[in-house]
Amino acid sequence: MQILVVEDKATRAGFLNVVEKIYKGDKHYVRPLNSDIENIFNPKVNVFFKQGSAIRFILKDKGEVIGRIAAFVNEKKAYGYEQPTGGLGFFECVNDQKAAFTLFDAGVEWLKSQGMEAADGPINFGENDNFWGLLVEGFTDPTYGMQYNPPYYKAFYEPMAL
């Protein structure tokens, strides 16, 4: 498995399109617009870049993207906790614990390199009205913008800690 930083057209496409693999055949999934996601990572659009930073990663296995994650630091909020706290979000991954933990480790290591001692997640680098939270029950038809994920994600998040 190989972790790559999202930094060019190919890795951006991998970050956006991995959901096709994860949600193939899931009648409940409503895919967000690529532009909605890309705007969060665009410093010209997202005002939170004035007070913080973000990074995105994809995970490849045998040449195929099998997961993604992003990590964020909001300087105005990070130091308002007992421990400096960053965020992890936009996690998507095939049903493979090793792959999931490889993604979490990449995000956590980046947060540590930014001086963070804890992580909140899943969250978004911006307002908390989209791309926040983990669905653990009620896997029914969501509307656009509602959080939705495979049920197996809960088991990946439960043991996570910095």
Tell which phi-psi region holds residue 99, choosing left (phi > 0), alpha (psi between -120 and 50) or beta: alpha
Residue 71 in this model has a pLDDT that exceeds 90? yes
pLDDT digits (tens, 9 = 90+) for 82-134: 889 999 999 999 999 999 999 999 999 999 999 999 988 888 877 666 777 78
The pairing of beta strand 118-120 with beta strand 52-61: unpaired
Section 58-74 average pLDDT:
96
Section 73-88 average pLDDT:
85
pTM given for the model? 0.90
Whole-number pLDDT of residue 162:
44
Find out whether 40 and 113 touch, Cβ atoms under 8 Å.
no
**Spatial CA neighbour of 120 closest among 141, 104, 135, 136:** 104
Whole-number pLDDT of residue 159:
67
Taking the C-alpha atoms of residue 11 and residue 7, their distance in angstroms, rounded to an integer, is 6
CATH class of the 2-157 domain in this structure: alpha beta
Whole-number pLDDT of residue 104:
95
pLDDT digits (tens, 9 = 90+) for 13-33: 999 999 999 999 998 888 999
Taking CA atoms, 18 is separated from 61, 69, 91, 93, 109, in Å, by 12, 11, 10, 8, 22
**Spatial CA neighbour of 71 closest among 54, 91, 52, 84:** 54
Whole-number pLDDT of residue 67:
98
